[in-house]
Chain A
Amino acid sequence: MIRDSRQLAPFIHTEKSAPYIYLTFLAALVPCVVYGIFYYGIRAAILILFCMASFVLIDNLCVRVTGRRSGGDYFDLSSLVEGLLIALMLPPDTTLVIALTAVLFASIVTKQIFGGAGSNIINPACAGRLFIELVWPSGLQGFSYGETNSKFSLISLVVQQQPEVSPSYEHLSIAELLSGNYPGLIGTTCFICILVGAIFLTLKGTIRLYSPISYLVTISVLYPVTMLIETRSFSFDGSLIYLLSSGAFFVAVFIMGDLTTMPSRFASGVFAGVVCGILTLVTKPFVSPMVSLLAPVLAVNFLSFVLDFFSKTLSRRKIRSREVDVS
């Protein structure tokens, strides 16, 4: 074995660098962004830009303050992706202060403390969104959709609106559910946009589908069971409405499909998805919808390394035991 200064093999490298992965996520989110701005007007656009810009700013400030990496090899697109994800999970009538709180929590507490892009254990966007949901439950009820002039009103960005009861979705038709033509969060309502993003990510190979698929399957299979317990009636209609209207699909694709924070192996990924689905359904009657969606994901994020380790150990049990015997 020689050790010298020449570069050692391999001499070719895949095009899928880290910026490429984040860039595909950004590109996959573009349909949702366009849809949100189209339906909710300027305030949605301002919220999205504000979240992205502030996330980048805070990330860079943290890096400067800690002196971790001066400059860096590339512009860190992960900040943009996470800011965008937070913005898309906000209701359209959210004040900038609340959005800024979410970004601050996501950037500082869940990302930079753990060591910056890629080193985070839990998903920053998910954690930030969950944080404001717990701190300001009433501040995230602004679903004023369909009112006159609402597309150009900016007052909701500054002043807290009257909290509204979360709209009910039972009366919506399938077409409305698919197209997202009903009051909801900025980016999570349009099923078709999310599906386009998911297909794009799958084609680019920057999403890991074990968790999302098992999550969605778990929810759609077990939802009728929970309905049976609650309402004594068994039907699959409710599960479709829940999947499409609650934002579960968005969470599945863009948060559970994340490469960094979710388990990377098949067995552990499927296990994580199933656990997430079960936890979501169990907690759904007791907490607000966003908490029941995001808290299980955070729980699984914490576990993902352990899950990976166990699945690897199980699959390599023989080899490991032999090596330990030898040494």
Chain B
Amino acid sequence: MADRRRYSFYRGLFTGDVLNFSKRSPFVKEIMFERIYPSKIILPMKMHYGVPAVPAVKVGDYVRVGQCVGVPEKGSFSVPVHSGVSGKVTDISDIRLPNGILTPAVTIKNDMKRTRLDSIRPRSGFKLSASEAIGVIRDAGICGMGGEGIPTAAKLRRARTEVVKDFLVNCLQSEPYSTSDLVAITEYPDYVVLGASACARAVGASRCVFLISDSRKEQRRALANSIARIKDDFRDLEFDIKLFRERFPQGYYRLVARALYGKNLALGETLETACSAVLFNCSTMLACWEALSDNIPMMSRIVSVTGDASGGHNILVPVGTPVSEVLTNSQDIKNSSDRIVWGNCLTGIEITDPENTPIVKTTSVISVVRRAEVPRTPCIHCGLCSECCPMNLSPNTIFEMLNQGLSQKAAEEGARECIACGSCSYVCPAGINLTTAIASFAGEGRIIETNSLLDNSSAEDRPSEDITPSYVGEASLLEDYAKDEEDKSKSSPDAITLPFEKDKEV
């Protein structure tokens, strides 16, 4: 895996120097990442793209680690929600997430005993068909962990119906300061590679490609070693590592398509149809393998607590942990006037209520940044924004057109292509908030959420066709699956024995 071609798109921010990207090597400072065990968790029922799950517990119920507390409605596009702690349900009420989503949420008070479900243990006799594997992933409640939060099972299933050749694993985490995906690779390279191989088999891909930045040498080596170790078990798959230059919105699927396949995707096009490839985040692959091998549902994730007002920490937290508990554990918050951002500091959302804002499945980073006043002046027409726009737009022209009400002209200029990456606002010497203006205009045309655009993992999915409505979340559901399908995802010599929700009372 020595020197080969470095892929990238044209323009964008060079995060190496421009953004003062966290120079800390993950091996030096962040390898000792912490696990925290919060006193309570708030589990929103909608952390993914789709409809909310329905709470399956009542106030006063005792839940255990790994227990399903939210089941999707039958036939709906949703994923179940699992508890990462054990304790009593104290509250079920509606909360509003920072991105504006109103959803019911289950609050669980932790009893610190960590009693867990019996089903969470390594699978013995593991022999799964492709649709079984996808069923396991769906029941584990896995959704894209980069940003968009599309249910992984739905994406896998769609990739399977489209004929996909390349299975891309996105190990590019180019957002400023955030390293949670990289830590996932550093810590569990085998899990990432095994999960990717299993999923690649499940969708019938012939190539499994890892996309990683060329400056991340340790992670590259870890992946290469893991691939060398497990290559013999997956002889039908061809493994590859593609090196990318470290630029800012590199993980966005349209930019990956441009860099890797030289194709400019139009707005509605997906990677599957245009390039016959499918893109997943590496953290998602890690979660998939945990679900497949150890029967662990998606109940915890790695979160970076970082920013210029904070040191660099990566913390393994149960999903639903309040942000304030994450911050108290990182222990180096110096100033109460610092800004807490839910997400990375270019595309995230500022939160004012860290006690009641949970970490959700798609939160990869909590940034704490200093409040800095940018000198605001009129536009000086320097053109730096169009120099760095990854979608090759002219933000200053579009901004001017929008200010004068020429929205038709702005649309012709390509304003709807905006992916809200924040690069133009970042570089603007005059301190104009270009991104907000243009992205909100672009958002009027298509339904997007403020933080959901710049994802690190997944293609923008439009799940119009319904998935097969085999339901999830009840006891012993996996036994219903057809057992006699071709044995595609035989990834270790075991066969499936235990479903997730064996002893959940509904």
Contacts and interface: CB of A to CB of B under 8 A. Distances in A.
Contacts of B394: 308, 312
Contact of B374 (A13, A118, A327): A13
Nearest to B423: A10
A13 B431 contact: yes
Given A265-B386, A324-B412, A1 B448 contact: yes
B226 interface: no
Contacts of B264: 318-319
Contacts of B411: 323, 327
A10 B422 contact: yes
A3 B436 CA distance: 10
A2 B450 contact: yes
A150 B428 CA distance: 46
A116 interface: yes
A46 interface: no
B346 A16 contact: no
Nearest to B425: A10
B378 interface: yes
Nearest to A313: B413
A29 B451 CA distance: 43
B255 to A, nearest CB: 15
Interface string A3-25: 10011111111101111110000
B381 A17 contact: no
B414 A316 contact: yes
A11 B369 contact: yes
B493 interface: no
Contacts of A259: 380-384
Of B18, B420, B429, most buried by chain A (CB within 10 Å of CB) is B429
A9 B349 contact: yes
A14 B426 CA distance: 6
A67 interface: no
B417 A17 contact: no
Contact of B426 (A13, A19, A20, A208): A13
Of A13, A261, A265, A319, most buried by chain B (CB within 10 Å of CB) is A13
Interface string A246-275: 000000000000011101110000000000
A320 interface: yes
Contacts of B392: 312, 315-316
Nearest to B367: A11
A72 interface: yes
Contacts of B378: 115-119
A13 B378 CA distance: 16
Contacts of A315: 392
Contacts of A171: none
Nearest to A20: B429
Contacts of A263: 383
Given A312-B394, A319-B414, A6 B443 contact: no
Contact of B18 (A14, A21, A118, A318): A14
Nearest to B385: A264
Contacts of A12: 19, 176, 308, 345-346, 369, 372, 426
29 contacts: A1-B440, A1-B448, A2-B100, A6-B349, A8-B349, A9-B450, A9-B451, A10-B347, A11-B350, A11-B367, A12-B345, A12-B369, A13-B426, A14-B426, A17-B430, A18-B377, A18-B380, A18-B382, A18-B430, A21-B380, A116-B378, A117-B378, A117-B380, A118-B378, A118-B382, A264-B383, A264-B387, A318-B264, A323-B411
Interface of A: 1-3, 6-14, 16-21, 72-74, 78, 115-119, 208, 259-261, 263-265, 308, 312, 315-316, 318-320, 322-324, 327
Given A115-B378, A259-B381, A320-B414, 14 more contacts: A2-B450, A8-B350, A10-B346, A11-B367, A12-B308, A13-B425, A13-B426, A18-B382, A117-B377, A117-B378, A260-B382, A264-B383, A265-B386, A323-B416
